[in-house]
Structure 1
Amino acid sequence: MSTSDSDPGALPAISSPGLVGRERELGALKAALCDPSAVVLVEGEAGIGKSRLLQELLAAHTPTSEQVLLAACPAVRQPFTLGPMVDAIRSATEDVARLGLSDLAGVLRPLFPEWASVLPPTPDPPEDAAAARHRLFRAIEEILERLEIRLLAVEDVHWADEATLEFLLFLTSRPGQRISLLVSYRPEDVAPDSLLLRLSSRQAAGGARLRLSLEALDVPGTAGMVSSMLGGEQVSDEFATFLHDRTDGLPLAIEESVRLMWNRSGLTRRDGSWGRHRLSEIDVPPTVRDAVLERSARLGPAALSALHAVAVLTGPSPEGTVIEVMTPGDDPASRLAGLAEAVDSRLLREDPKGLVSFRHMLACRAVYESLPGPQRRALHLRAARVLEGVVPPPVARLAHHFREAGDTTQWCRYAECSAELALASGDDATVIGLVHDLLTNADLPPADVLRLTGKVPFCLLSGHERYRELMDALRLVLDTGGPTRSEAGEIRFHVARLLQQMELFEESRIEMERALPDLGHDPAKAARAMIFLGLPYGTTTPAAEHLRWLRRVSRAPISMAPGDRMSIRVGRASALLVLGEEEGWAEAALVGDDAPTTAERQQIMTGQLNIGHMALVWGRYPEARRALTVATGLADRYQYRKLHRMGQVTLAQLDWLTGDWDGLADRAASLAGDEELLQPVSRLAAAMVTGLLSVARGDLDSADDCLRLVLEQADRHGGAEYSIEPAGALAGLRLGAGRIDDALRLTDEPIRFLERKGTWIWATGLAPVRCEALVMAGRDNEARDLADALAAGLRDRRAPGPHAALSTCRAILARSEGDHLGAAALFARAAEAWQAISGPYDALLSRERQAGCLLRADRSDEALPVLTETFQGLSALGARGDAERVMRTLRASGVGVKRPSWHGGRRSYGNELSPRELDVVRLLVGGRTNREIAGVLILSPKTVARHVEGAMRKLEVSSRTALAVKVVEAGVVADSPADARR
Structure 2
Amino acid sequence: MIAKTLEKPDDPAPQFSRIVVRPLRGRDGHLEQIRAGLLTTSEGRQGGITLLESPAGSGKTRLLQESGTLAEALGYTVLDCSTTGAWRGDETSSATGRSSATRIPRPVRPTGPVQIQAQIDAGLRRGPVLVVVDDAQWADPVQLRTLCGLALKLLTVPVRWLLTMRTEDARSANGLLLRNLTTHRAQWLPPLEPLDDQAVAELMGDLLGARPSDDVRALGESLGGSPQAIVELVRGLVEEQCLRIVGDTVSLAAEPLVSGFTSAVAADPGAHLPAAFLRLMRDRLDRLAPGTQRLLQVAAVLGPSFIPRDLAEMADERPVQLLGPLQESLAAGLLTSGAEEFSFHREPIWYAVLGTVPQLMRSLLHRQAANMILGQLGDGTAAAVHLVHCAHADDTQAITTIRTAADRLLPVSPQAAAALALRGLDITRPAQPAYLDLATTATAALVRSGSLHRAVEIAERVLTVHRHARPDHAGDPEGARPPDEPAGPAASTWPLRAWLATALLLRGDADAVPQVLQHATGPARASVARHQQEGPSPLLLRLTMLSHLDERAALTAADEVLGDETAHHDDERSAARTIRAGARWAEGRLDEALALLGPDAPPGGRTAGIWQGTALWNKAWVLIKLRRLDQAAATVEAIQRTIDTESNGVLEPLPYALRAWTRFACGDLCEAETLATAGLTASAEARMPLCEPHLRAVLVAVALRRGDLAEALERQAQWEPTGTPDGPPRPWWAMRCLITAQVTAARRGAEQALEVLRAARQDAGLRRQLVLEDPSATAWCVRTALAAGDREFAARMADSAEHIAVTAPDHPTVGAAAAHGRALIDGDGALLARAADDYTDPWAVASVTEDLGVLLGVGDREGAIGAFNTAMAGYDALGAKRDAARVRRRLRRLGVRRRHWNLVARPQTGWDSLTGAEEKVAHLVARGLTNRQVAGELFISPHTVSFHLRQIYRKLAIQSRVDLTRIVCAPGAHGAGPPFGSP
Greater C-alpha radius of gyration: 2
